[in-house]
């Protein structure tokens, strides 16, 4: 079996984790092995139902366990996956992984007849329908935001770790002149959206808590959907016990939008784009993005 593990080590944010999860899920499928999730670093079961794949729920047997730790290491198993014909022979293979490594199997002669893009997009589209299904609690929260609104344009802006309350001492920042640059970005998106729809709504998510006040000067407030819960990084110690915002925002971006404008350097935006049912994906400057180029921030060999 193949197990993606979110345990005590630093694993990255939700986007990073989903990249590793989907990679493991696809590897398990290709190798005809069972796939499980071991998620114990945070208790997310109030928000997410992954019982179908919950490693904690299965009966444990005395099998050989091999641990594969490849956090921030995409190349570590590359040659093995591309060339080995007896892959992961131990019964239990536990992965700490936040990289897209399943692509390397498609260079293996065992799977040269498979189409990588078709296979991995199928897994992404099952993300919130089969793998990480929103709980009733989360669905109720989501419906309170959506409130039967249609023509929802999703906008996800990653500004940098330093703007999140859970990321003290971080220095990473994307924009030099935050308010000016973000205002320009939102105004340009509005101009484009106005040319597409007569009536539409905006769903907005960002690691910058001041984003709503900027958007409120661009659109009418009644057309903005925004979750005002505290912006927290899932891989840091929470400052507020309710961490549902990260799942709510990801789910709405993925499942309730007709167009997406994302920070293409952010895995949070990437997984929403990849798991969405449409291909209307753009960067923050209104350039069209191809899902094939969103599968990994690092090297794609296919």
pLDDT digits (tens, 9 = 90+) for 155-203: 999 998 777 777 777 777 888 899 999 999 999 999 999 999 989 999 9
Report the CATH fold assignment for 137-294: Rossmann fold (3.40.50)
Instruction: Give the integer Cα–Cα distance in Å for 105 and 83.
Output: 8
Return the CA Rg of the chain. 20
Lowest mean pLDDT among 18-22, 137-141, 168-172, 255-259: 168-172
What count of other Cβ atoms lies within 10 Å of the Cβ of residue 75?
12
Mean pLDDT of 102-117: 96
Residue-by-residue DSSP string for 192-229: HHHHH-SS-EEEEEES-TTHHHHHTTTS-GGGEEE--S
| Upper half-sphere CA count for residue 242 (Cβ side, 13 Å) | 10
- pTM for the model: 0.95
Provide the pLDDT confidence category of residue 61 given band limits of 50, 70 and 90. Answer: confident
pLDDT digits (tens, 9 = 90+) for 98-107: 999 999 999 9
Provide the pLDDT confidence category of residue 9 given band limits of 50, 70 and 90. Answer: confident
Residue 1: which of 79, 51, 66 has the closest Cα?
A: 66
Ramachandran class of 182: left when φ > 0, alpha when ψ lies in -120 to 50, beta otherwise: alpha
Question: Structural domain boundaries of the chain?
Answer: 2-134, 137-294
Contact 227, 245 (CB under 8 A): yes
Q: Given this model, what pLDDT does residue 289 score?
A: 97
Count each helix (H run) and each strand (E run) in the chain, helices first. Answer: 8, 11
Q: 164: which 2 tokens?
A: 């999140």
Provide the pLDDT confidence category of residue 232 given band limits of 50, 70 and 90. Answer: confident
pLDDT digits (tens, 9 = 90+) for 207-226: 999 999 999 999 999 999 99
Provide the pLDDT confidence category of residue 8 given band limits of 50, 70 and 90. Answer: confident
Q: Given this model, what pLDDT does residue 279 score?
A: 97
Residue 80 has pLDDT above 80, yes or no: yes
């Amino acid at each position: 079996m193949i197990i993606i593990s979110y345990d005590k080590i630093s694993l990255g944010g939700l986007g990073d984790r989903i990249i590793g999860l989907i990679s493991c899920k696809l590897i398990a499928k290709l190798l005809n092995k069972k796939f499980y999730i071991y998620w114990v670093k945070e208790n997310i079961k109030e928000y997410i139902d992954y019982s179908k794949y919950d490693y904690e729920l299965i009966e444990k047997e005395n099998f050989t366990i091999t641990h594969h730790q490849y956090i921030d290491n995409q190349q570590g198993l590359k040659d093995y996956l591309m060339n080995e014909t007896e892959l992961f022979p131990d019964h239990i293979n536990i992965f700490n992984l936040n990289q897209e490594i399943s692509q390397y199997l498609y260079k293996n002669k065992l799977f040269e007849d498979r189409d990588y893009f078709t296979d991995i997009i199928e897994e992404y589209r099952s993300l919130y329908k089969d793998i990480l299904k929103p709980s009733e609690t989360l669905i109720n929260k989501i419906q309170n935001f959506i409130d039967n609104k249609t023509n929802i344009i999703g906008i996800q802006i990653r500004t940098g770790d330093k703007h999140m309350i859970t990321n003290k001492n971080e220095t990473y920042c994307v924009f030099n002149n935050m308010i000016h640059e973000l205002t320009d970005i939102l105004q340009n998106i509005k101009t484009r959206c106005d040319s597409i729809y007569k009536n539409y709504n905006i769903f907005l998510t960002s690691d910058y808590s001041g984003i709503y006040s900027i958007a409120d000067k661009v659109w009418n407030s009644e057309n903005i959907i925004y979750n005002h819960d505290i912006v927290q990084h899932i891989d840091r110690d929470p400052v507020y016990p309710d961490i549902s915002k990260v799942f709510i925002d990801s789910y709405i971006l993925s499942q309730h939008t007709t167009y997406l404008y994302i920070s293409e350097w952010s895995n949070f935006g990437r997984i929403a784009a990849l798991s969405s049912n449409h291909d209307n994906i753009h960067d923050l400057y209104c350039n069209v993005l191809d899902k094939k180029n969103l599968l990994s921030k690092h090297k794609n060999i296919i």
